[in-house]
Structure formats: C-alpha cells, structure tokens
C-alpha cells in the first residue's frame, strides 16, 4: 500500500483506525508531543488489543490500521500479530517509526520481521530526530526495509514552506531514493505523531463560521485503551474524555460498536461537516476555550448541542451529509488532502516521482 492510497482514505469516517501501541520510545526528541521516553511505560493491554483487532470481520473492518506510538517497534511480536490479524480480515496496516533501530548497523531480525508483516512503513525524519539518529543511518535502514518489498515513505516535519531544513531533506530523500519514495510533509504542531498522518493546525473561526474537522474521521485507541473519535493529542490524553468524543474502550467494545458510534453520532457528523464552532453557534451555545479543539471538547457538556445535532444530522440525511463532506475532502486526491492538512507546498511529494518546490525532478 503506497502512501497516497493511505492518505486518500483519511477523509472517510472509520475508513482507518489509529492504534497507539505504547507511549514508550528510546529517543528523546525535543518536540515530542506524546511525551515519550523509555521511562514512561503506558500502553494498552496487549491481549485486549489482539481481541479488539480480532473483532474485525471481512464485512466490517477498517481499510487501514495505523500502528503508532511512542515507538511501536518496541513491541515487534505484537506488531506482527496485529498486522496478521488485520490482514486476515482484509485490513491493511501501516506503521510509523522514529527509527531507533537505525542505530545498529543491521536491522534487528525481530524488528525486520515485524516491518515485513505490515503493508506500509513510514520513517519519521526531522531536525529533532536527526539529533538522535543521523540521517545517513536512517537512509541505510530504509534501504534495508525496501528490500523486504514493503512500501515505504518518509514522514518529514518542519516549520513551514520556507524552512530550509525541509528544502534540504526533501532534496536528500529524492537523491538517495531516485524519486521512488514519497514523503508526507507536515508542519510542527501541537499534535501527536498519530495525528500527523494528516493533521491541521486550527484557529477558532470568526463568528462560528463553517470549519469542518477532518480529524474526527478515524477512531484512535489511546495508551489506556480508551477509544477516541479524533487524534488531537490533548483529546487522546485527557481524562475523563469528553462524552461526545469517546467511542468506548477496547476492554469492553469491539470494532463494530466503535465504528457504529463513530459513524452514527449526530454530534460527530456535525463536527466533521461544519465544525465545532459552527455547531456551537447554531445551538446557541457561547464559544468556549481558547482554541478550536478546546471549544470542541467543551461541546459535550451542553444538551442544546446534542439537540441541534440530532435535529440536523440524525438518520439517513445525516449520513448523506457526512459522506458528501468526506467525498468533498477526498475530491482532489491525496495531494489535495495534504495540501489542506499538511504542508501545502510539499503536498505533491505524497506521490512517488513528484517534484519538491525548487526540485530538479
């Protein structure tokens, strides 16, 4: 599965599932929004994760399962088991790694076996990571991963279109891999890495204007096993989770229940189609919180919001509204998705063989 295919599914509700396997990570990147290190042992119970993924069926499963962290490859046997279970139901898996294993000359066999079992592998690279693992080592490890036949990509982060680091690293990836390895380029944001497959920095829109949240599309399994409706790291981490953004828990719920809640909640449909600020305004609820997401998290405490969402987005009409918004989000293809949610100038790189700004290809 190539990066473009994965990103192209991002706008569709419940087309994907993000699994945070562990908050632990051997690296200590300065910008780490999940607060990961080797000393933070916080991870869902492995048996519950296995049970949850075992509940996928060929008729009801996510198209894509994203294995994230922390560093998911600290649990290579679990990665192998989950990707094999997901594949049996017809789901494909993608894994995002901080590349700690590139420190060794050879990729450790359990890590290589785990990578060979997924359908897409993405390597994180940015100025902070490069202080932990030299770029040349990351490139060497990615060459080794490509030899297994797994589709690979880079996940690059910088400060924006004018960041000289992004110009340099995209040129280096292009030269090293002959334009055959795509990159998802994002700007540094207050989101976790799970979100960074297509996250957007949001400000509160003026006067409750329509400003849909595409991040409420794919459920996220947090490190304590709670399933959230979106991948904003504050929402993923805070407890209690806001009721309207909580989809259950892997200890008690299966995929069918999580998917049904994600797809059928009128409030989530409104968040995806018109955004939280507009929903608040049309419900007669004063906007709360300093940010777009703060305002969203506050919505669940007001009955007027649920009543308004029910009136507009319940039933078949609400489902159609939701699907129409997702199709609109996907209409420009993967490049359009990244242009909207990632670093727009580098959006074409989501497809292999594309040109970076000022590039020579």
Q: Is the separation of the CB atoms in 267 and 275 below 8 Å?
A: no
Site for ligand SF4 in 255-274 (CB under 6 A): 271
Considering the complex, what minimum distance in angstroms separates the CB of residue 168 from ligand SF4?
Answer: 20
Site for ligand SF4 in 167-206 (CB under 6 A): 193
Determine the interface stretch with ligand SF4 among 20-28, 56-64, 80-88, 142-150 (rule: CB under 6 A): 20-28
Element (H, E) at 164: helix 164-177
Report phi then psi at 247, rounded to 5.
-110, 0
Chain residue whose CB lies nearest ligand SF4? 98
Question: Which member of 14, 25, 65, 86 binds ligand SF4 (CB under 6 A)?
Answer: 25
Q: Is 144 helix (H, G, I), strand (E, B) or coil?
A: helix
Helix axes 266-273, 303-313, angle to 10 degrees: 80
Burial class (CB in 10 A: 0-12, 13-18, 19+), 5: middle
- β-pairing, 120-126 vs 92-97, is parallel
Q: Is 349 helix (H, G, I), strand (E, B) or coil?
A: helix
Q: Is 199 helix (H, G, I), strand (E, B) or coil?
A: coil
Determine the interface stretch with ligand SF4 among 8-16, 65-73, 144-152, 335-343 (rule: CB under 6 A): 65-73
Q: Is 55 helix (H, G, I), strand (E, B) or coil?
A: coil
Question: Which member of 22, 36, 170, 196 binds ligand SF4 (CB under 6 A)?
Answer: 36
Question: Which member of 28, 57, 203, 324 binds ligand SF4 (CB under 6 A)?
Answer: 28
Question: Which member of 183, 232, 273, 354 binds ligand SF4 (CB under 6 A)?
Answer: 232
Residue with smaller CB distance to ligand SF4, 43 or 174: 43
CA atoms lying within 13 Å on the CB side of residue 242: 20
The answer to whether residue 29 forms part of the interface with ligand SF4 (CB under 6 A) is yes
The answer to whether residue 233 forms part of the interface with ligand SF4 (CB under 6 A) is no
CA 205 to chain centre: 23
Residue with smaller CB distance to ligand SF4, 34 or 170: 34
Binding site for ligand SF4 (CB under 6 A): 25, 27-29, 32, 34, 36, 69-71, 98, 124, 193, 213, 215-216, 229-230, 232, 235, 245, 271, 276, 292-293, 296-297
């Amino acid at each position: 599965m190539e990066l473009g295919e994965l990103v192209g599914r991002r706008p569709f509700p419940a087309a994907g599932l993000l699994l945070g396997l562990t908050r632990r990570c051997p690296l200590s990147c300065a910008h780490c929004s999940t607060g990961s290190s080797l000393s933070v042992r916080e991870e869902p119970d492995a048996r519950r994760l296995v049970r949850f993924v075992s509940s996928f069926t060929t008729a009801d499963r996510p198209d894509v399962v994203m294995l994230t962290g922390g560093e998911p490859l600290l649990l290579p046997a679990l990665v192998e088991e989950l990707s094999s279970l997901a594949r049996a139901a017809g789901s494909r898996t993608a894994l995002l790694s901080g590349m700690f294993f590139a420190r060794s000359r050879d990729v450790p066999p359990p890590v290589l076996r785990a990578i060979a079992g997924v359908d897409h592998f993405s390597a994180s690279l940015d100025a902070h990571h490069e202080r932990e693992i030299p770029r040349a080592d990351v490139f060497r490890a990615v060459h080794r991963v490509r030899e297994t036949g797994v589709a690979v990509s880079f996940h690059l982060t910088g400060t924006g279109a004018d960041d000289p680091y992004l110009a340099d690293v995209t040129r280096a990836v292009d030269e090293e891999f002959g334009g055959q390895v795509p990159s998802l380029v994002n700007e540094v944001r207050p989101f976790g890495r799970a979100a960074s497959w297509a996250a957007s920095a949001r400000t509160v829109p003026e006067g409750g204007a329509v400003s849909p949240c595409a991040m409420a599309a794919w459920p996220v399994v947090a490190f304590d096993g709670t399933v959230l409706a979106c991948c904003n790291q504050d929402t993923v981490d805070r407890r209690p989770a806001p009721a309207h953004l909580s989809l259950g828990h892997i200890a008690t719920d299966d995929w069918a229940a999580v998917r049904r809640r994600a797809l059928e909640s009128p409030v989530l449909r409104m968040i995806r189609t018109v955004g939280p600020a507009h929903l608040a305004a049309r419900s007669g609820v004063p906007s709360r919180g300093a940010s777009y997401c703060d305002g969203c998290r506050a919505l669940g405490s007001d009955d007027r919001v649920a009543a308004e969402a029910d009136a507009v987005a319940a039933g078949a009409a609400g489902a159609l509204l939701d699907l129409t918004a997702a199709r609109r989000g996907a209409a420009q293809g993967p490049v359009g998705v990244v242009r909207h949610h990632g670093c727009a100038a580098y959006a074409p790189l989501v497809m292999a063989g594309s040109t970076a700004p000022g590039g020579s290809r």
